[in-house]
Amino acid sequence: MSAWLQRALLGASLLAALAFPLVAESGFWIKFAFTTLLFAYLGQAWNILGGYGGQFSFGHALFFGTGAYAAAIAQTAFGLNPWLGLPLGALAGGAVGWAAGYLSFRYGLRGSYFALVTLAFAEVFRILANAVPFTGAGVGLFVPLQPGWAQLQPGPIGFYYIVLALVFASLWFAWRIENSRFGAQLMAVRENEAAAAALGVDAYALKVRAIALSGAMTGVGGVLYVQFYLYIDPSLAYGPGISVEILLVPIIGGLGTIFGPLIGSIVLHAASELARRIMGDAPGIHLVFYGVLLVVMVRFLPDGLAGLLRRKRKAEVPRNA
């Protein structure tokens, strides 16, 4: 595909995304688009650590829930403006990410050990959130309804445009990472950590920085989630469903690619909605669907849909020559 055609497709996609709320037939589709874009953004946050850095996290709900709770508690208990909750959520998610990275990478945890540790961290925070009173314990926290842009409650269409802006910002950020020294070092650590260290890369500091960045971005996503739904509880904030959905998005779309999380989120949520309409709303059925999809993708498309498209383009080159 030529460069001008790629730019034309990107421009058309942007115009379609901007016009979507104006032609959507119902609030359901705007909510569906919001959720799809939110997890595209969260998947990009995971992609920094797992896709570019090769450090698979099974517990990104740790950062999501921490950002959501930090903003919700600050708003309900101290009257903080929700817009200020966005940097607060980023700070909280980044701080927890730094702490988790410090404790994990300092002792050389990697691969399946690191994945299980992140899952354990999220479970510990879920248990704590169920026990302490300022999180609302098992009842959860209700954020007051205060419609309007001033209180970060602009309605479904407003939320759609906010998360759309975040998705484009995350795409730009991923592009910058791919073309930066930091990104090159991350990918070197992903391919061979020992070789990267021999070339002078401080793998420990690099991975801690990556998980802190990933945690900060994920925390912002948690803040938007709680403002959209006006409610959060420990199972929603730190449950495995959030973590699995976040990591599935880049795995389906393509690990370590710029557009992989966006592609993956669109495919995942379209397939999930189709499965829901076929199988109904039985409790836990979405986790079964996610599990089956994860096994299929890892087994048959380990490079994701972006990798499949890349291989197809390479295969077409000799015929076009």
pLDDT value at residue 209: 95
In a domain, 6, yes or no: no
In a domain, 4, yes or no: no
In a domain, 55, yes or no: yes
Per-residue pLDDT of the chain (321 residues; tens, 9 = 90+): 455 665 677 777 788 888 888 888 778 899 999 999 999 999 999 999 999 999 999 999 999 999 999 999 999 999 999 999 999 999 999 999 999 999 999 887 888 889 999 999 999 999 999 999 889 888 889 999 999 999 999 999 999 999 999 999 999 999 999 999 999 999 999 999 999 989 889 999 999 999 999 999 999 999 999 999 999 999 999 998 899 899 999 999 999 999 999 999 998 888 888 877 777 666 667 667 777 777 877 777 777 887 676 666 666 655 544
Rounded to two decimals, what is the model's pTM? 0.91
Q: Please report the DSSP string for 183-240 in residue order.
A: HHHHHHHHH-HHHHHHTT--HHHHHHHHHHHHHHHHHHHHHHHHHHHSEE-HHHHH-H
CATH of the domain at 42: 1.10.3470
In a domain, 240, yes or no: yes
How far is CA 275 from its chain centroid?
A: 22
Total domain count, the chain: 1
| Contact indicator for 245, 39 with CB cutoff of 8 Å | yes
For the chain, the C-alpha Rg in angstroms (whole number) is: 20
In a domain, 2, yes or no: no
Q: For residue 212, what are the domain limits? A: 11-316
What are the distances in angstroms from CA 224 to CA 9, 85, 131, 185, 186?
Answer: 29, 9, 24, 31, 28
Buried b (16+ CB within 10 A) or exposed e, 29-64: ebbbbbbbbbbbbbbbbbbbbbbbbbbbbbbbbbbb
Return the amino acid letter for 231: Y
| Contact indicator for 42, 256 with CB cutoff of 8 Å | no
